[in-house]
């Protein structure tokens, strides 16, 4: 009998100490892997520029590049057939695993995602490095868990640590890595996971910044904070971003469905569409290739006229959807930030021309729109705000960033637009018929924080209808842990520790999360 299935750490305080050391190890290894990935992607951009310059010298050389793109598309399709879990950004797959609905093979995902993401960016597809970096980091955590025979409880923590380290190393944004992994992946802010995730994120960022430097990803000047007399413009911008963010989610899913539902299209022919389009754009509008950081530089540095910004936004929007919808290994994180910057630039130009906004505040709107558009699409406002702060190095915009992000969030929510990664996960489970992993008999410990106003607040444990196949094993309040009884009173901000079996964890997790967050009036 495999001993790890009986290894259920019931003393959560000791687990917290262990996780700090394990988070350091995972963060270090994940940081090195993502650092290498970043370096290769930098070379990929340089090589692509040289290839296009060489191929543009004659029609024969251009034809040779198209043939090479077809071959690369074939290679990527073989990687996807070998390991389907590398499709897209990898974040929905990670969320599916955290919910107990997927079980990727870590030693297959790591090399396949690494090589597939590199080949896609080398070819010029409009994809980001953040999703692959997060998946590479999380699979590093899973590999650590499997190699050292950790239990399922620790494995989920290590997946979160790896995801945080991946984002931190990819963008030089350790705080955003922590917030994203907690807000979007783990969906829990308990002390046990927070400290270990912070350790992993800082370790990965230290490794990446030591070799690549600590300069912000986006380097453009922002002249102070936006005067409050122009805040009414932020309200309009936030609403616009919420609407466009909801449209982005809808359009992305539609393009993905179009690929899947087109008769006689297989993995290779779906990939062939964006790869051939990359060849066409490479000889006509090379500015649209890749993640799009060059567009932000053009917009904020050399200047970009309104009609050109509109054209670039429209074409980049379409090209990003075509690239991502094909299932190619790569993320949407960075391209959507670029699209957000173009929205902010276009809106700022209109305000300068017609509403009296001083021209020096154009870059402010570029920065603010990045956070707002990200928030409307991903529905992770804290991550959006901190990410933009770390990627630009500007701390003066905190109030205006919060204003735009909050309005964009509310607008997208009122439009009933689901967060993009949750929608992609649902689509993946439905269309690809992914089954839940078989039960192994292992027990899983999970922590949940009781929110203010939830249906659990002020109730005794015996008064609550708990899901089947779970046990409340501990209640933590202000750092003190107690063994619960039927008359134990639950309070807001308490952390409850639930023990469940692996086969029932997805249902238990969903039910308990709902109990901790739903308003009491809805029960």
CATH assignment at residue 115 = 1.10.3080.10
Domain count, the chain: 3
Element (H, E) at 448: strand 443-449
Pair (395, 482) in one structural domain: no
Pair (403, 451) in one structural domain: no
- Do 326 and 126 meet the contact criterion of CB atoms below 8 Å apart? no
Pair (334, 392) in one structural domain: yes
Chunked into runs of 10 residues, the chain (523 residues) has average pLDDT values of 41 68 94 95 94 94 96 96 93 89 92 96 93 95 93 88 93 88 77 86 93 78 84 95 96 93 90 96 94 87 86 96 94 92 95 92 92 93 85 76 94 94 86 54 78 85 86 81 84 85 80 80 41
Q: How far apart are CA 367 and CA 342, in angstroms?
A: 10
Q: How far apart are CA 56 and CA 282, in angstroms?
A: 9
Domain-located, residue 208: yes
Domain-located, residue 218: no
Pair (255, 160) in one structural domain: no
Give 145-151's long-range contacts (Cβ < 8 A, gap of 24+).
Answer: 146/106, 149/3, 149/4, 149/7, 150/4, 150/7, 150/22, 151/4, 151/7, 151/8, 151/9, 151/442, 151/443, 151/444
Domain-located, residue 182: yes
Pair (28, 131) in one structural domain: yes
Pair (346, 444) in one structural domain: no
Structure tokens at 109: 């995902």
At 212 the pLDDT is: 85
Structure tokens at 65: 């590049």
Asked which of 212, 236, 259 is the last residue of a domain, the reply is 212
CATH code, domain carrying 452: 3.30.70.1450
Pair (166, 201) in one structural domain: yes
Asked which of 387, 404, 429 is the last residue of a domain, the reply is 429
Pair (149, 78) in one structural domain: yes
Q: How far apart are CA 341 and CA 317, in angstroms?
A: 12
Domain-located, residue 220: no
Neighbouring C-alpha atoms within 13 Å toward the C-beta of 513: 12
pTM of the model: 0.84
Domain-located, residue 221: no
Neighbouring C-alpha atoms within 13 Å toward the C-beta of 38: 26
At 11 the pLDDT is: 43
At 315 the pLDDT is: 96
Domain-located, residue 453: yes
Domain-located, residue 146: yes
Pair (169, 92) in one structural domain: yes
At 233 the pLDDT is: 95
Domain of 69? 7-212
Pair (347, 262) in one structural domain: yes
Pair (308, 196) in one structural domain: no
Q: How far apart are CA 78 and CA 268, in angstroms?
A: 8
Q: How far apart are CA 158 and CA 176, in angstroms?
A: 17
- Do 326 and 270 meet the contact criterion of CB atoms below 8 Å apart? yes
Q: How far apart are CA 186 and CA 504, in angstroms?
A: 18
Pair (321, 415) in one structural domain: yes
Element (H, E) at 257: helix 231-261
- Do 75 and 119 meet the contact criterion of CB atoms below 8 Å apart? yes
At 440 the pLDDT is: 52
Q: Coil, strand or helix: which one is 523?
A: coil
Domain-located, residue 338: yes
Asked which of 212, 239, 272 is the last residue of a domain, the reply is 212
Q: How far apart are CA 442 and CA 455, in angstroms?
A: 30
């Amino acid at each position: 009998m495999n001993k790890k299935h009986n290894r259920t750490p019931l003393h959560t305080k000791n687990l917290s100490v262990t996780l700090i050391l394990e988070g350091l190890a995972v963060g270090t290894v994940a940081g090195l892997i993502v650092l290498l990935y970043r370096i290769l992607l930098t070379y990929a951009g340089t090589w692509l520029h040289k290839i296009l310059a060489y191929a543009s010298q004659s029609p024969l050389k251009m034809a040779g590049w198209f043939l090479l793109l077809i071959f690369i598309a074939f290679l990527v399709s073989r990687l996807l057939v070998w390991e389907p879990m590398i499709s897209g950004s990898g974040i929905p797959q990670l969320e599916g695993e955290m919910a107990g609905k997927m079980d990727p093979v870590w030693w297959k995902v790591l090399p396949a995602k690494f090589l597939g993401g590199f080949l896609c960016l080398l070819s010029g597809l409009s994809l980001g490095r953040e999703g692959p970096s997060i998946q590479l980091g999380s699979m590093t955590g899973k590999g650590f868990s499997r190699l050292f025979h950790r239990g399922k409880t620790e494995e989920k923590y290590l997946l979160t640590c790896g995801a945080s380290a991946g984002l931190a190393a990819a963008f030089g944004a350790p705080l955003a890595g922590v917030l994203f992994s907690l807000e979007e992946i783990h969906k829990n802010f308990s002390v046990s996971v927070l400290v270990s995730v912070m350790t992993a994120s800082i370790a990965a960022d230290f490794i990446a910044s030591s070799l690549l430097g600590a300069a912000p990803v986006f380097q453009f000047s922002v002249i102070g904070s936006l005067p409050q007399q122009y805040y009414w413009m932020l309200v309009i911008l936030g609403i616009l971003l919420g609407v466009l963010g909801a449209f982005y989610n809808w359009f992305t899913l539609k393009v993905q469905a179009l690929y899947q539902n087109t008769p006689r299209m297989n993995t290779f022919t779906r990939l062939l569409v964006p790869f051939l389009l990359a060849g066409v754009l490479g000889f006509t509008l090379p500015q649209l290739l890749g993640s799009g950081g060059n567009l932000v530089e053009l917009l904020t540095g050399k200047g970009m006229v309104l009609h050109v910004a509109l054209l670039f936004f429209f074409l980049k929007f379409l090209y990003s959807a075509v690239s991502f919808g094909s299932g190619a290994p790569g993320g949407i994180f960075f391209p959507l930030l670029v699209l957000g910057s173009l929205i902010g630039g276009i809106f700022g130009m209109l305000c300068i021309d017609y509403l009296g906004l001083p021209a020096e505040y154009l870059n402010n709107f570029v920065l603010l729109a990045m956070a707002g558009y990200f928030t409307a699409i991903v529905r992770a406002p804290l991550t959006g705000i901190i990410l933009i702060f770390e990627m630009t190095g500007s701390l003066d915009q905190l109030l205006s960033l919060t204003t735009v992000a909050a309005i964009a969030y509310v607008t997208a929510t009122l439009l009933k637009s689901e967060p993009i990664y949750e929608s992609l996960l649902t689509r993946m489970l439905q269309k690809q018929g992914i089954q839940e992993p078989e039960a192994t008999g292992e027990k899983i410990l999970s922590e949940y924080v009781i929110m203010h106003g939830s249906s659990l607040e002020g109730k005794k444990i015996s008064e609550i209808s708990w899901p089947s196949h779970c046990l409340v094993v501990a209640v933590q309040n202000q750092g003190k842990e107690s063994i619960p009884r039927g008359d134990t009173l639950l309070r807001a901000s308490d952390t409850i520790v639930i023990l469940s079996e692996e086969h029932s964890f997805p249902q238990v997790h969903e039910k308990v999360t709902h109990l901790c967050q739903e308003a009491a009036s809805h029960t």
